[in-house]
């Protein structure tokens, strides 16, 4: 999992709107970075998904991960996602790309 965390930090956290110019996270203890919190589950879902349609994978991620997130209400609505403040939702395509690049890397 370390290689995925490192790659996410270098490629996603480095450009995240919730980070400093040097990629350090600025979220407080009261806030949640879904990517960091659920990274093992995200990687597992990307690995298990055998389809080509990334929209289907996004729905699967929402069903399996967002439904357990503390910012998701009983009705499935997420105030972070609705305000474009959910890191998983905002950087979804990049996250999937980074995971696949790590998998293809010889190291």
pLDDT in tens, the chain (107 residues): 999 999 999 999 999 999 998 878 898 877 778 899 999 999 999 999 988 899 999 999 988 988 877 776 666 677 777 777 789 989 999 999 999 999 999 87
How much is the pLDDT for 80? 75
Residue of 45, 18, 22, 46 lying closest to 33 (CA atoms): 18
pLDDT of 76: 65
What ranges in the chain are assigned the alpha helix state H? Answer: 2-8, 34-48, 54-64, 79-82, 87-90, 92-104
Domain ranges of the chain: 2-104
Residue 16's pLDDT is 93
Name the pTM for this structure: 0.87
In angstroms, the Cα distances linking 82 to 63, 71, 72, 103, 105 are: 16, 11, 10, 31, 34
pLDDT of residue 86: 86
Q: Give the long-range contacts of residues 73-79, CB within 8 A, separation 24 or more.
A: none
Instruction: Specify the pLDDT at position 51.
Output: 86
Polymer length of the chain: 107
Cα dihedral 82/85/89/95 (nearest 10): 170
What span, in angstroms and rounded, lies between the C-alpha atoms of 3 and 55? 25
Q: Would you state the pLDDT for residue 26?
A: 92
Mention every residue, 6+ apart, whose C-beta is less than 8 A from residue 45: 57, 60, 61, 64, 65
């Amino acid at each position: 999992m370390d290689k995925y965390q490192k790659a996410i930090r270098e490629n996603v956290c480095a450009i995240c709107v919730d980070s400093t110019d040097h990629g350090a996270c600025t979220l407080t203890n009261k806030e949640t970075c879904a990517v960091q919190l659920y990274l093992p589950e995200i990687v597992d879902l990307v690995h298990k998904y055998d389809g080509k349609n990334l929209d289907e994978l996004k729905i699967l991620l929402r069903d399996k991960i967002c439904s357990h997130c503390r910012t998701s209400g009983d009705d499935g609505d997420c105030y972070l996602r609705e305000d474009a403040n959910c890191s998983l939702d905002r950087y979804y395509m990049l996250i999937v790309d980074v995971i696949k690049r790590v998998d293809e890397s010889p190291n």
